[in-house]
Structure 1
Amino acid sequence: MKKIGSVKLGDGMPAVCVPVMGKDFSELKHSLEAAGQVPHDVVELRMDSLEQAQSKGMVRKALSLAREVLPQMNLLYTFRTAEEGGEQEISEDRYFTMLGEAVESGLADAVDIEFYKDCDKISGMIEKAKKQKVFVILSSHDFQKTPPREELINRLITMRDLGADAAKIACMPENDEDVFTLMGATAEVKRRFPDQLLITMAMGGRGTLSRIGGETDGSCLTFGCAEKASAPGQMNAGDLRKILESIHSAVQKV
C-alpha cells in the first residue's frame, strides 16, 4: 500500500491534509504551529504563499522550518501556480527547478506536480521522485466549472498512465449535479483501477459532500484547514475528522 511518509492511503477513511501558508517565515511558522493543534495526517506546505518563494535556497529553508516546527509530520510540498489558483506567477523552468529541489532535499515526503505542464518534464520529475522515494500527486484544478464526466475520467486515467502515485482533480460545481458528476467519475475510475489512488473534491460550499464522501467514492485524501483555507469550501480539520470518523463507523456496520 502506498504511503505519504507514515500514512497509508486508500484503506478506509480518507486521510486529512492541512495546508499551511504564510507570506513570510514568521507567518509560516505560526501556520505550522496552528496545524499542529488540529487533527491531521499530512501537512501541505504551500510554497507559493511565501513572497520570497522563488529566491535561491528558499525551498530548503521553508522545508527545514516545517521539519523544525513539526518534526514528525508527513510533509507534502506544493507550489500552486496562479493558473491553477495559486498565489504567484512562475516560469515553467523555475517551477520544475524548485520541484527538483524539494524532491532532492530529503525533507519532503510528497510533492504535487500540476498536470497541465510539459509532459516530458512531468515524466522526468516523476522518475526523479521515485528514485528518491518521494510520493507524487499529479493535480488539476478548475475554479470556473466542472468538466464533463468522461473528461474527468480520462484526465484521472492519463495521470495514472504518467505514473502518478495519486491523481488529483479539484473543480468548481455550478450546480448540485456537478458534485455527483465528479464523485461518480471518481468511483468509476476506482472501479476500473482499484489500486490507483485518487484525490478528488468539488470546491465551495456546494462541494462539501465530496470532501467527506471519499470512503464511498474512492477519494483517499481530503483537505481541512487549521486557520486560513487554501481553497474555497475547506472545513476546519477538527470538524472534518469528526465527520469522517462518523461516516467510517457507519460504513463498517454495513
Structure 2
Amino acid sequence: MATQTLRERLSGGAPLVAVSFGDDDPAGDAARARELGVDLAELRIDWNRSVEPADVLAAIAPFRAAGLRILATIRSKAEGGRWPGDETARRRLFEAILPAVDAVDVELSSTEILPGVVAAARAADRLVVVSYHDFDKTPDEDFLRGTVEAARAAGADLVKISTMAHGPEDLRRLAALLLRYDSMVVIGMGAEGAATRVFFPVLGSRITYAADGERPSAPGQLPFSETARLLATFSPGYATARGAGA
C-alpha cells in the first residue's frame, strides 16, 4: 500500500512507474498491482466494456481499496484511445470519477472539455495531466515548446508529451524539451524510444509507463518488473522510494 499521496510522491522528486488497466478483472488487476508494487495505476476508462458512471466507479473501487494511486484516463480516439461517446458524456464522466481518483489525464487537443475538466479537478483538489501524443513522428522543437506552453496555460499540473521516436535526433529533441521545463512527462515511443522509458525519469520525467506483464499498451513499453529494476539501478531516488514503499 502506498504511504504517500500522489502529490506527496511527486513533490519528493522520485519518478513513478505507471501500469495501465482496463476493466476486465479490476479486483485481480488491483491485487496484482499491489503485489508488484506498482507506483501508479493508470485506469484506461476508454478501454472499459461499460462507461456508465456507476460501472466505472465500481471498477475503480478495488484499486482504491488496495491503496493504489490512481490516474484516470479517458483517451480520445484522435490520440489513440477508444472513447465511444461524445464530448459532453466524456466531461461528465471525468467529473463523476474525480472524487475516486488522484489525477486525470486529458488531451490538450480536447478543447471542448479541457477547461471544464481542469476546473472540476481544481474544485476536487485533484491533479491534472494535460497530454499530447503523436504516434507517427516527433514534431520539431518549436511545435513541442508551443505545445508545452499551451498545456501549462491550460492549467496542467503535469504536461505529458509522448511521440514516436525514429532515431537519435528525435531523442535529443525530446531530451532538450525535458530539460527545458519542469513538471514534465516525456516519452519516446517505439523501439528507438525504449531507452527514454528508463533514462528520461533519471533526467526528471515524472512518470514512465510500463507494461502489465508482456502486454504493452503503447509501442516500446517494457514490462513493469524490468522497468522498476532498471530505474532502481540508475535512480537512487527511485530505489529509496521503492524500498520505503512510498
* Cα shift at 1:230: 1.5
The equivalent of 1:244 in structure 2 is: 231
Unaligned runs of 5+ in 1: 191-196
* Cα shift at 1:251: 11
* Cα shift at 1:142: 0.9
Unaligned runs of 5+ in 2: 240-246
Instruction: Pick the aligned partner of 1:73 from 68, 72, 95.
Output: 68
What code does the residue aligned with 1:246 have? T
Kept in 1, the 8 Å contact 2:16–2:207? The answer is yes
Kept in 2, the 8 Å contact 1:145–1:171? The answer is yes
What code does the residue aligned with 2:219 have? P
* Cα shift at 1:201: 0.2
* Cα shift at 1:128: 1.6
Kept in 1, the 8 Å contact 2:53–2:97? The answer is no
Task: Report how many aligned residue pairs link the two structures.
Answer: 235
Greater shift, 221-230 or 144-153, is seen at 221-230
* Cα shift at 1:49: 1.3
* Cα shift at 1:216: 4.5
**Aligned-partner SS, 2:192:** helix
**Aligned-partner SS, 2:195:** helix
**Aligned-partner SS, 1:145:** coil
The reply to whether residue 160 of structure 1 matches residue 152 of structure 2 is yes
* Cα shift at 1:58: 2.5
* Cα shift at 1:110: 0.8
The equivalent of 2:242 in structure 1 is: none
Q: What percent of counterpart residues are identical?
A: 26
* Cα shift at 1:189: 2.2
| Alignment partners' CA distance in 2, 1:226 and 1:83 | 24
Instruction: Pick the aligned partner of 1:84 from 73, 79, 82.
Output: 79
Seen in structure 2, the aligned counterparts of structure 1 residues 102 and 56 have a Cα distance that, compared at 3 Å, is closer
TM superposition score normalised by structure 1: 0.84
1:215-234 to 2 correspondences below 5 Å: 215-227=201-213, 228-234=215-221
Seen in structure 2, the aligned counterparts of structure 1 residues 251 and 225 have a Cα distance that, compared at 3 Å, is closer
The equivalent of 1:30 in structure 2 is: 28
**Aligned-partner SS, 1:178:** helix
| Alignment partners' CA distance in 1, 2:158 and 2:237 | 26
| Alignment partners' CA distance in 2, 1:128 and 1:51 | 25
The equivalent of 1:64 in structure 2 is: 61
* Cα shift at 1:200: 1.0
What code does the residue aligned with 1:249 have? P
What code does the residue aligned with 2:185 have? I
Seen in structure 2, the aligned counterparts of structure 1 residues 140 and 4 have a Cα distance that, compared at 3 Å, is farther
The equivalent of 2:243 in structure 1 is: none
Kept in 2, the 8 Å contact 1:19–1:46? The answer is yes
Kept in 1, the 8 Å contact 2:134–2:163? The answer is yes
